Amino acid sequence: MKASRIVSTFTVALMALTILAACGQAPASAPPAPAAEQPAAAANATGKKTYADMTLCFPQLGAESDWRTANTASFKETAATLGIKQLVFSDAQQKQENQISAVRACIQQGVDVIALPPVVEDGWEPVLTEAKNAGIPVIIVDRSVSADPSLYAAHIGSDMVLEGERAAEEFNKMMPDGGAVLEISGTTGSGAAVGRAEGFRKKLNPNITILDSQTGNFTRAEAVPVMQAFLRKYQPGTDFQGIFIHNDDMGIGVIEVLKAAGIKPGDLKIVSVDGTRGGFQAMVDGWFQADVECNPLLAPQVFEMALKLMNGEPVEREVLTNETVYYPENAAELLPTRQY
């Protein structure tokens, strides 16, 4: 998806209201801006809002992976460093209904901005509409939503389709004569799993088939039985030569299963996603042939955008993280430098 620069309707409405107020031209009888376009926090006459004024709601989707742990730490550490007034944090334990309740509680509290990492893509329209009607801008963080973009201010996160394409390109290079791969995907219906699966299928050479695909829900524990079932059904090396795994945590679960089955590092081509320390260790140990980066350290950009929204400044609608692919060749050298 291409990044585009479209000024948020929140900010346009805020700028218009601020100018009118400053010029004393907003008569009491003037019709209010449509509720859906009212800003969360109007800049006052004394100047701009600062981080010390900010209450930011971060209804985290869960704690399913090392990536997620790093993402949570990024928000907590950045909030402390910037000295924001309050970070309203919650953990939805990978349940959308918990996230929706957390967003509703934040609307009730009257936070300035909501930074929402949606566990799945669908089903957000009602609560996003409630936030919009309350005048609270929402930044969609990390994964995407399928809701109409007019319901939120912006999205900051990875290009999940590109990550899947990058994984496919690794298999294309490693298996020029074709073959078969298995896929262990992330949470069903999540923007990360949907995007990676789409990109993977888009770029995978036609001579490489996807023998089977099952979800491991982005967790180490759930990937283990998936891989065990695959090994009962398919013969490694004969039926399949590679495995595409949607994150490093599931990859580590897969390695446990392969080791127990007597499979050695390098017997199968394995490509994972994230670039966590665990993923780097798996490359050092010879299990992963590539690790597609997905960067969890999103908080600095999110807080910066949140402050702009509070001050009625324009923001980019889509901010995609600049990412790369890591390889075993320099994994040992880079491992000590990894932040997550």
Tell me the C-alpha distance between 245 and 261, whole Å: 18
Note whether 247 binds ligand AHR by CB under 6 A: yes
Range in contact with ligand AHR (rule: CB under 6 A) among 61-69, 264-272, 316-324, 330-338: 61-69
Q: Is 284 exposed, middle or buried (0-12, 13-18, 19+ CB in 10 A)?
A: middle
Are the C-beta atoms of residues 280 and 334 closer than 8 Å to each other? Answer: yes
Nearest to 235 by CA among 214, 262, 255: 262
Range in contact with ligand AHR (rule: CB under 6 A) among 60-68, 126-134, 233-241, 307-315: 60-68
Residue closer to ligand AHR (CB basis): 215 or 247: 247
Q: Among 79, 100, 147, 192, which residue interacts with ligand AHR (rule: CB under 6 A)? A: 192
Residue closer to ligand AHR (CB basis): 103 or 273: 273
Note whether 215 binds ligand AHR by CB under 6 A: no
Residue closer to ligand AHR (CB basis): 136 or 223: 223
Q: Among 49, 68, 132, 308, which residue interacts with ligand AHR (rule: CB under 6 A)? A: 68
Residue closer to ligand AHR (CB basis): 51 or 340: 340
Token reading at 256: 């446990």
Residue closer to ligand AHR (CB basis): 10 or 75: 75
Tell me the C-alpha distance between 293 and 279, whole Å: 10
Note whether 294 binds ligand AHR by CB under 6 A: yes
Note whether 289 binds ligand AHR by CB under 6 A: no
Q: What is the closest distance, in whole angstroms, from the C-beta atom of residue 69 to ligand AHR in the complex?
A: 10
Tell me the C-alpha distance between 314 and 5, whole Å: 9
Note whether 218 binds ligand AHR by CB under 6 A: yes
Note whether 273 binds ligand AHR by CB under 6 A: yes
